[in-house]
Chains A and B, each alone.
With several copies, the nearest count.
Chain A
Amino acid sequence: MAAPIAIHLEFGGGAELLFEGLKEHRVTLPSQLEPWDMKQLLVWIQRNLLKERPELFVQGDSVRPGILVLINDADWELMGELEYQLQDQDNIVFISTLHGG
């Protein structure tokens, strides 16, 4: 049994507009049998935070193209992407790529 963990979620580059304009969310993920990973976090976000238009945030079991995911200020590609196991106090950022100039 893994204990509940508290994490800090941030949304930016416009991704926050899917979450009522709130850029920062402090959330607690409940206790569960296995440790939390990013794949499960995406499901949890869809069920608990994302009120509408999930297709603007997820595609299949990952984030949609054009959203960059950062785990503790590093590109999630360096951290194992969907398989990364979340630690208490982790900081996870979802940032939309900007194209304007």
Chain B
Amino acid sequence: PLTVKPALSNEDIMRYSRQLLLPELGVKGQLKLSRTSVLVVGCGGLGCPVAQYLAAAGIGRLGLLDYDEVELSNLHRQVLHGEENQGQAKALSAASAVRRLNSTVECVPYHLQLSPENALQLIQQYDIVADCSDNVPTRYLVNDACVLSGKPLVSASALRMEGQLTVYNYRGGPCYRCLYPVPPPPETVTNCSDGGVLGVVPGIMGCFQALEVLKIASGQGSSCGQQLVMFDAQDARFRSIRLRPKQPGCAVCGENASVTQLLDYEAFCGSAATDKCRKLNLL
């Protein structure tokens, strides 16, 4: 658990002065940020801006999870990493970039794959989870672990020139499974490795994700629960959609939930928990 900061230091007051001025945040909100821990699942195109802006804003503890290493093909969108970090674990590369920006944030890199074995134990240590992953099994895994441990889940995704964002399991709203009870057939799923993505699209979506995390952490509350925000970069259009409420029949958050512990999500989805399988097939 985070050590409770009793007050802001003089250095904090200087560093955060421009946001302390905001009536929506103020000293109270800033102290709440400093007492909040956030787990960022995935340090790629979404995770980089999320980690960057959460650290800059003074979140208390930031968990940075990624099993992968930095490659040249990441750098067009994964802007926390640099050329010199190629081959390094993304979690470590992201952590050292974040420390350069704000050394007062407690930064915990996890160079590992989130799995049914470790997810609950990890997520239980954090107050809010940001899903910045890149594949279907991980999205169901993160959702179920958040529902089982009662954590709000700020989830974004991006592909080609589009992005989507929703806050799940928040203030009585729906979870990911309420919306998507059955996983998509694997042959219908396109990931960034085969569909491509314009780097700044996850940039915009990740910043948006950081915003909603900060609103929840500071006590303002998110306006994206039971809402789907869709972004189309080609016509620069955002759209907010009213979603269904929490479903009484949901397998994990419903009244007679059948999912009471984590499962084998790769088997459930019929695909691997990575966005690389198809790339490997293509090469």
Contact = CB atoms under 8 A, between A and B. Distances in A.
A touching B, CB within 8 angstroms: yes
Interface of A: 12-14, 55-56, 59, 64-68, 70, 73-75, 77-78, 95-101
Dominant SS among interface residues on chain A: mixed
Nearest to A57: B188
Given A56-B187, A73-B240, 4 more contacts: A65-B182, A98-B164, A99-B189, A101-B202
The binding surface of chain B is classed by DSSP as mixed
Given A100-B197, A101-B202, A66 B188 contact: yes
B244 A65 contact: no
A78 to B, nearest CB: 6
Given A74-B241, A99-B189, A101-B156, A13 B164 contact: yes
A95 B244 CA distance: 15
Q: How many interface residues does chain B have, given as a range?
A: 35 or more
B242 A78 contact: yes
B230 A95 contact: yes
Interface of B: 42, 44-47, 132-136, 139, 156-160, 162-164, 179-185, 187-192, 195, 197, 202, 228, 230, 232, 239-244, 275
Contact of B185 (A13, A65, A78): A65
Given A13-B159, A14-B190, A100 B241 contact: no
B70 to A, nearest CB: 15
B241 A65 contact: no
